Homo-oligomer: A and B are copies of this chain.
Amino acid sequence: MDSNQKIRKQVKDELTEYLTLHKHRKTPERFAILDHIYSTKGHFDMDTLYKSMIDVNFRVSRATLYNTIELLLDCGLVLKHQFGGNMSKYEKAYGNDNHDHLICTTCGEVREAKNEDLSIASQLKKIKKFTVNYYSMYIYGTCSKCSHAKKMEMKQKSKQGKN
């Protein structure tokens, strides 16, 4: 709890600094959106974010949400993912452990998996002519639920084939 408070203050300061440096305005919407993102857990999409802000009686337009997310991506406070569905998913950049994403190509569910592979960091350093901001590891496959469902389906089909 306490550490979350600390992070929310840190990111607010970082946003302030970024806005000052880039001569952008410090609007209440920008800080409210950032804080809202950092007070919730896990992935979110625009629709979820929009509705959850309305829920706490903070009126924002979708346009502003998109504008602000763009800003937050720019200053590295938020990460964007496109796992394969129709809409983009986002997550906060700080206060998250480094993790891979397990994406089930059947049901679309995204699970996080801890990643303690330190050799990746050393690999990144070897990259030339490119300034690395962050990386994402997407692992595609089938979750246990869907694996099971597929097996059942195949059994059905092979039965029909015998008729």
Q: Which residue numbers of A lie inside 8 Å of B, CB to CB?
A: 22-23, 73, 80, 82-84, 102, 104-105, 111, 113, 115, 117, 119-120, 123-124, 127, 129-144, 147, 157, 161
Bound-complex Cα distance A143 to B130 (A): 5
Q: Is B129 a contact of A144 with CB atoms below 8 Å? A: yes
**Identical copies in the complex:** 2
13 extra interface residue pairs, beta carbon distance < 8 Å, beyond A80-B84, A130-B142: A82-B82, A82-B84, A102-B130, A113-B127, A119-B119, A120-B120, A130-B139, A132-B140, A133-B140, A133-B142, A134-B140, A136-B140, A138-B138
A93 to chain B, nearest CB (A): 11
Please give the distance in Å from A114's CB to the nearest CB on chain B: 10
Nearest chain B residue, comparing its CB with the CB of A105: B133
User: B residues within 8 A CB of A129?
Assistant: 143-144
User: 16 A–B contact pairs at CB < 8 A?
Assistant: A23-B157, A102-B127, A105-B133, A113-B127, A117-B119, A120-B120, A127-B139, A129-B143, A129-B144, A130-B141, A130-B143, A132-B140, A133-B142, A134-B139, A137-B137, A138-B138
